[in-house]
Amino acid sequence: MMTSTRYIPETRLRRLRQTPTLRDMVRETHLSTHDLILPIFVDEGISERQPIKSMPGVFRETEESLTQFLKDSEKNGVKSFILFGVSHHKDDEGTDSMKKGGLLDRMISRAKDAVPDSLVIGDVCFCEYTDHGHCGPIAENGDVDNDATLENIAKQAIIAAEAGADIIAPSGMMDGQVGAIRAALDESSLGNVPIMAYAAKFASTYYGPFRDAAGCALGKYEHVAKDRKTYQMDPANAEEAMRETEQDILEGADMVMVKPGLAYLDILYRVKSTFKMPTFAYNVSGEYAMLKAASANGWIDYETTMMETLLSFKRAGADGILTYSANDAAKILNDR
């Protein structure tokens, strides 16, 4: 007669998962409204806020509707915002964003007036303000002129800071852009304004809905490069991402960002672990759109999947998350 040799484990990890209160007690990673940064599109050419078809639930705000939207979001507990202009005064250099009274200046000033106790982040780049859609003026070879862009982005950063931006966030991935902005801010008695560097920004197809929302798609001119691969990073390169991040830190970045988020959690983890800087993840438009599309088809539950996604950024090391789901997440967190 055979004796049972069934194994009985002495350590049972399931013991700590038996009730919601017990799971809350031992939870390792926490998400709060303080982690959320809401991107907002401001269109100077519309009289009513317009839904963005590729991003259900997200709108292009008018300059007037921006005020109420910010106040409503602040009431939800969202206290940080990053603004993207949808310009109707474009040219080959994006000069509207480098002058007083331009859209960049106006929308940041309006935002600070609306929510003076919240953080307003000024995204400084030229893709929304150039007629060709690239992130700087074009050189004779059809590519972006890196060093001419540095001079321009320094001017753009000063406009944003003087308008009241609490943080400057350069997203163009030009070599030397953080150093150029840091020098310009310091020389203009704006040295206390921090820089959030888009330190590791990859040339990703996940940005598609953003290009629709911000009106910065490429392809208008034959002589201009049809993609951004000469300045945004190759998705295959992890070591280069570390070098890019280190360079931005050496040039004076106060915070760093990894963009996109979901497909680059390994980069996010390495950046946080290596540099131990305030580190942010951008839950980009394509990631948001995928959740919305899958939810609309009944394949997933939007709210639970969205919260799981945001938690994954925190678990990988993010100190904050730029996400179009910020208001949705804040309402859920407030109800807990």
pLDDT band at 4 (very low <50, low <70, confident <90, very high): low
User: What integer pLDDT is reported at residue 207 of this predicted model?
Assistant: 94
Whether 6 is covered by a domain: the verdict is no
User: What integer pLDDT is reported at residue 50 of this predicted model?
Assistant: 96
Among 275, 283, 288, smallest CA distance to 314 is for 283
Over range 5-21, report the average pLDDT.
89
Among 181, 207, 205, smallest CA distance to 195 is for 181
Distances (CA, A) of 67 to 26, 35, 107, 214: 40, 22, 9, 19
What is the distance in angstroms between the CA of the first residue and the CA of the last residue of the chain? 56
Whether 193 is covered by a domain: the verdict is yes
Q: Which two tokens stand for residue 135?
A: 């992130």
Query: CB atoms < 10 A from the CB of 4, how many?
Result: 4
User: What integer pLDDT is reported at residue 44 of this predicted model?
Assistant: 96
Q: Which two tokens stand for residue 54?
A: 């590729």
Distances (CA, A) of 56 to 52, 141, 292: 6, 38, 7
Whether 4 is covered by a domain: the verdict is no
Q: Give strand ranges (E) for the chain.
A: 36-43, 50-51, 59-61, 80-86, 119-124, 167-170, 196-201, 255-259, 279-283, 320-323
CA gap 189, 29 in Å, rounded: 39
Q: What are phi and psi of 72, to 5 degrees?
A: -65, -40
- How many domains would you assign to the chain? 1
Say whether pLDDT at 153 is over 90. Answer: yes
pLDDT band at 320 (very low <50, low <70, confident <90, very high): very high
Range of the domain at 36: 31-335
Q: Which two tokens stand for residue 180?
A: 């150029």
What DSSP line would sit under 94-144, residue for residue? -GGGGSTTSHHHHHHHHHHHH-TTSEEEEEE-STTTBSS-SSS-B-TTSSB
User: What integer pLDDT is reported at residue 226 of this predicted model?
Assistant: 83
CA gap 48, 29 in Å, rounded: 40
Q: Which two tokens stand for residue 22?
A: 């017990």
Over range 64-92, report the average pLDDT.
96
Whether 68 is covered by a domain: the verdict is yes
With both helix axes pointing from N to C terminus, report the angle between 238-251 and 265-275 in degrees, rounded to the nearest 10: 40
Whether 227 is covered by a domain: the verdict is yes
Whether 22 is covered by a domain: the verdict is no
- Please, is 329 exposed, middle or buried when counting C-beta atoms within 10 Å of its C-beta (0-12, 13-18, 19+)? buried
CA gap 37, 35 in Å, rounded: 7
Q: What is the pLDDT of residues 194-204, one digit of tens each?
A: 999 999 999 99
Say whether pLDDT at 75 is over 70. Answer: yes
Q: What is the pLDDT of residues 93-145, one digit of tens each?
A: 999 999 999 999 999 999 999 999 999 999 999 999 998 878 898 888 989 99
Query: CB atoms < 10 A from the CB of 23, how many?
Result: 11
Percentage of the residues of the chain whose pLDDT score is greater than 70: 98
Asked whether the beta carbons of 73 and 81 are under 8 A apart, the reply is yes
Prediction pTM value = 0.94
Over range 39-61, report the average pLDDT.
96
User: What integer pLDDT is reported at residue 6 of this predicted model?
Assistant: 83
CA gap 135, 155 in Å, rounded: 14
Whether 10 is covered by a domain: the verdict is no
Whether 1 is covered by a domain: the verdict is no
User: What integer pLDDT is reported at residue 2 of this predicted model?
Assistant: 58
CA gap 272, 317 in Å, rounded: 6
For the domain that residue 214 is a member of, what is the CATH number? 3.20.20.70
Taking 3-state DSSP, the helix, strand and coil percentages for the chain, each rounded to the nearest 5, stand at 45, 15, 40
Say whether pLDDT at 1 is over 70. Answer: no
Active site residues: 201, 259
CA gap 281, 37 in Å, rounded: 10
Q: What is the pLDDT of residues 219-269, one digit of tens each?
A: 677 777 888 899 999 999 999 999 999 999 999 999 999 999 999 999 999
Q: What is the pLDDT of residues 264-288, one digit of tens each?
A: 999 999 999 999 999 999 999 999 9
